[in-house]
Amino acid sequence: MGFNQKDLLGIREISAEDITTILDTAESFKEVSRRAIKKVPTLRGKTVINLFFEPSTRTRTSFEIAAKRLSADAVNISASTSSVTKGETLIDTARNLEAMGPDAIVIRHPSPGAPHQLARLIGASVINGGDGAHEHPTQALLDAFTIRGHKAGFAGLQVAIIGDIAHSRVARSNVHLLTKMGAHVRVAGPRTLIPPYYEQITGESEGSLTVCDSVDDALSSADVVMMLRIQRERMTAAFFPSLKEYSIQYGLTLRRLRLAAPDCIVLHPGPINRGVEISSEVVDSASSLILDQVTNGVAVRMAILFLLVEREGH
Amino acid sequence: MEFKHKAHIMDAAGISRALSRLASQIVEQNVGMTDLLLVGIRRRGVPLAERIAERIEHLEGQRPPTGQLDITLYRDDLSTVGPRPVVNRTDIPVDVTDSTIVLVDDVLYTGRTVRAALDELVDFGRPRKVELAVLIDRGHRELPIQADYVGKRLQTTAAEIVKVMLKDYDEEEQVIVVENE
C-alpha cells in the first residue's frame, strides 16, 4: 500500500499508484451508500472539521455526509460566521482548531497554498477542498472515479476540458490526474482564459496535454467532455465580450457534442449555468453524468477520509 | 517471514469431507431451508461458503444463496494493524430481514472477526437467526462467541498459526499449523 500520507493537498503531489488506491477504496464505500443503514463504525470518535472560507454547497455537504457515514463527528465552519470576520488570521484560526483535537480538517480558501500552510502548522490531516485557482483534488478524484465507471481505463483516453481554464482549480487538478494516468487531455476556451505555457504544467507524465485553438478541435472524437463553469466571482477584467457571445462560441450544445465519440460522457463540476457553458438539452441528456459525479463524490471522500485518518501507525 | 512447520492437520480430501459434514449438519438444523443464506467472511470464508452451498444443493436439490462480508470497516484494531488493510467489497444479494444466516469462516480464534461480522450483518437488516460455521476452531476466545458447526477442533498455543490453504488462493489445498521462527 503506497498511500500513507498525512494530507491530501493536491493531485500534483501524489502518484498514479496513490490515485488508484483511492479509487479502488472508493468502490467499497460506494456499496456502503447503497445499504439500508448507510453508516459504518470505522471513524467512530474521530472529528472532521470543514473549514470553508468560500461559499460551497456540494463539496461541504459531500464531506459532511462522508464523515457522518464513517461515524465521525463533522463540524462545519464558514468564514462568514467565524472569528475570521473579527480579524483572526488563518494561522491563529488553525492553532485554535488544533487545540480542540480534530483528526482531519477540510479547508477551502481563496488563496492558493492556504491548505499547504495549514498542513505544516498542525498535526491533523489536512484535505484541500479547493484553494483559489490552484487545485481541487477531491473533485478530480471523483471525476476520475466517474470516468472509470464508464470507460475501460485511462490509458489513451481522449478528454476535452472546455471553458475558463485560467481560473479553474478543477481543470488544473484534472489535468494532473488524467495525464498521470495516461490520458490525452485537450483544453479549449477563450485565449484570454488559458494561461501562457499551460501545456507545461504536467511535467513528465504518461499522457499528454494539448491546448486547442477551438472548441470543435478539442471535442473531435473525445471520449470524455468536461465543461467548466464561468467563474464570474473570480473575474477582475473583461475576458470576453458577453455571456451570450461566450455561449455561442464555447457552450456545449447537442449539435456540437456530435463531434465527440458516440459514447462520449459529459461531466461538469457544478454549479451549472444552464444555457451559458452548457445547454439544458445536454445537461438532461443520457450522456450527462453530472448527478453521478455528485453521488460518487461521497464515496470518494469517504475513501480519502478513511485512508488519511486511519493511516499506518496513527 | 519464515515459518517453522509444526503439524499437518488436513489434506484436500480431509477438507472436502469436513465441508460435506458441515453441509449435512446445516441441512439437518434448517429443514426446508426457507430463507437460508450462507455468508462467507473474506477472504477464505468466501470460497468455503460457496463449497458448502454446492454440497447443500447436492443433498437437497436447491442451492441456498451466498454472500460475502468484508469486515475491515468494522474492525476494532484498525489503527494498530499495519500496513493498512485493503477494503474489499461486501455483497449481500438478498434481503437479510427474517432470513437464517450461516456465517462461514476458515478459522475461529479470538472471536473478534465474528463480532465485527455480526455488527456489519445487522446493518443490512434483522435476520431471524445467525449461525456460525468454521472449518477449524483453535480456541483462545476473547469474546463470548461459539460456532454452531465445526469442521475440526484443535488444541493450539498462542504462538502457533493455523493456515488454511485453499486452491482459490494458494498452491496447495491443506490445513497446517506453523510457528514464527
Per-residue pLDDT tens for B62-88?
999 999 999 989 987 765 555 556 788
Is B146 a residue whose pLDDT tops 90?
A: yes
- A115 and A89 housed in the same domain: yes
- Which residue range forms the structural domain that includes residue A305? 16-132+296-309
- Which residue range forms the structural domain that includes residue B136? 3-75+86-180
What CATH number corresponds to the domain at position B161? 3.40.50.2020
Burial code (b: 16+ CB inside 10 Å, e: under 16) for B111-140 equals: bbbbbbbbbbbebbbebeebbbbbbbbbee
Is residue A122 in some structural domain?
Answer: yes
A positions 32-71 inside 8 Å of B (CB)? 32, 35-37, 39-42
- A288 and A272 housed in the same domain: yes
Burial code (b: 16+ CB inside 10 Å, e: under 16) for B17-53 equals: ebbeebbeebbeebeebebbbbbbbbebbbbbbbbbb
How would residue A243 be classed by pLDDT, with cut points 50, 70 and 90?
confident
Supply the ipTM of this predicted assembly.
0.75
Residue B95: closest CA among chain A residues belongs to which residue?
A36
Instruction: Please state the pTM of the whole predicted model.
Output: 0.88
Cα–Cα dist A21/A16, whole Å? 9
Contact B88 A4 (CB under 8 A): no
Going by their DSSP bridges, the two strands B174-180 and B160-165 should be labelled as antiparallel
Cβ–Cβ < 8 Å for B162, B139: no
Contact A306 B88 (CB under 8 A): no
Is residue A4 in some structural domain?
Answer: no
Is residue A7 in some structural domain?
Answer: no
Q: Does B77 touch chain A (CB under 8 A)?
A: no
- A182 and A269 housed in the same domain: yes
Is residue A242 in some structural domain?
Answer: yes
How would residue A2 be classed by pLDDT, with cut points 50, 70 and 90?
low
Alpha-helical runs (H) found in chain B? 12-29, 45-60, 112-122
Residues A3-28: what's their mean pLDDT? Answer: 93
> What percent of chain B clears pLDDT 70, i.e. is strictly above it?
94
Cα–Cα dist A185/B53, whole Å? 49
The predicted-structure confidence for A246-276, as pLDDT tens digits, reads as follows 999 999 999 999 999 999 999 999 999 999 9
pLDDT at B80: 58
- A95 and A162 housed in the same domain: no
Is B173 a residue whose pLDDT tops 50?
A: yes
Is residue B80 in some structural domain?
Answer: no
Residues B39-47: what's their mean pLDDT? Answer: 94
Mean pLDDT rounded to a whole number for chain A: 92
Instruction: Tell me how close the Cα of B76 comes to any Cα of chain A, in angstroms.
Output: 9
- A65 and A150 housed in the same domain: no
Contact B84 A312 (CB under 8 A): yes
Residues A214-240: what's their mean pLDDT? Answer: 88
Mean pLDDT rounded to a whole number for chain B: 91
How would residue A1 be classed by pLDDT, with cut points 50, 70 and 90?
very low
Contact A42 B74 (CB under 8 A): yes
Is residue A50 in some structural domain?
Answer: yes
Is residue B81 in some structural domain?
Answer: no
